[in-house]
Amino acid sequence: MELDELRKALDRDELNYPALAEKAGPESIDDLETLVAEDEPRIASKAAYLAALIGAEGSDRVVDLAAQSRHDVIRASAAAGLSALSQEQAAPIADKLLADPDVGIRARTVRSVASLGIQASLQKVADEDDDSDIRALAQELKTD
């Protein structure tokens, strides 16, 4: 898909992410990174999540860029997309998002981390997060 076609596809209200990921394919990772870098929340948030679902070389780079956004919705998409990455790719990005000032983003990150089985991160959140609800969520989701 060309960049403009990808932008148009992501600008829809309802997306079938798996179908779009298949259509866009691994060759779209650089264009998805461009869309995240443009920092337009409506498109960038969807581009970040799509990059994670594609799971190609560079997907983690796109999700990491989204995790550093000034927009909560883009960081939230990065948090949700973590679960589609490998543990090795997700762990350093998760560490950033688990320190996010937004409690909702931390909660979404905790769920993604739990789905990946990154127990050390869950334990750290359960022990140290400033929010008691986030600590309780991490405690509930970790496996002993």
Of 108, 85, 91, the C-alpha closest to 29 is: 85
Residue 120 host element (H or E)? helix 119-128
pLDDT tens across 52-86, in order?
999 999 999 999 999 999 999 999 999 999 999 99
143 pLDDT tier (thresholds 50, 70, 90): confident
User: Residue 141 contacts by C-beta under 8 Å, 6 or more apart in sequence?
Assistant: 110, 111, 114, 122
Q: For residue 144, is pLDDT > 70?
A: no
pLDDT tens across 86-129, in order?
999 999 999 999 999 999 999 999 999 999 999 999 999 999 99
SS3 32: helix
Looking at residue 102, its pLDDT comes to 97
> What is the pLDDT of the chain when averaged over all its residues?
96
DSSP string, 46-99: HHHHHHHHHT-TTHHHHHHHHHT-SSHHHHHHHHHHGGGS-HHHHHHHHHHHTT
Of 42, 29, 110, 95, the C-alpha closest to 73 is: 42
CATH of span 3-141: 1.25.10.10
pLDDT tens across 26-52, in order?
999 999 999 999 989 999 999 999 999
CB atoms within 10 A of CB 59: 24
**Domain residue extents for the chain:** 3-141
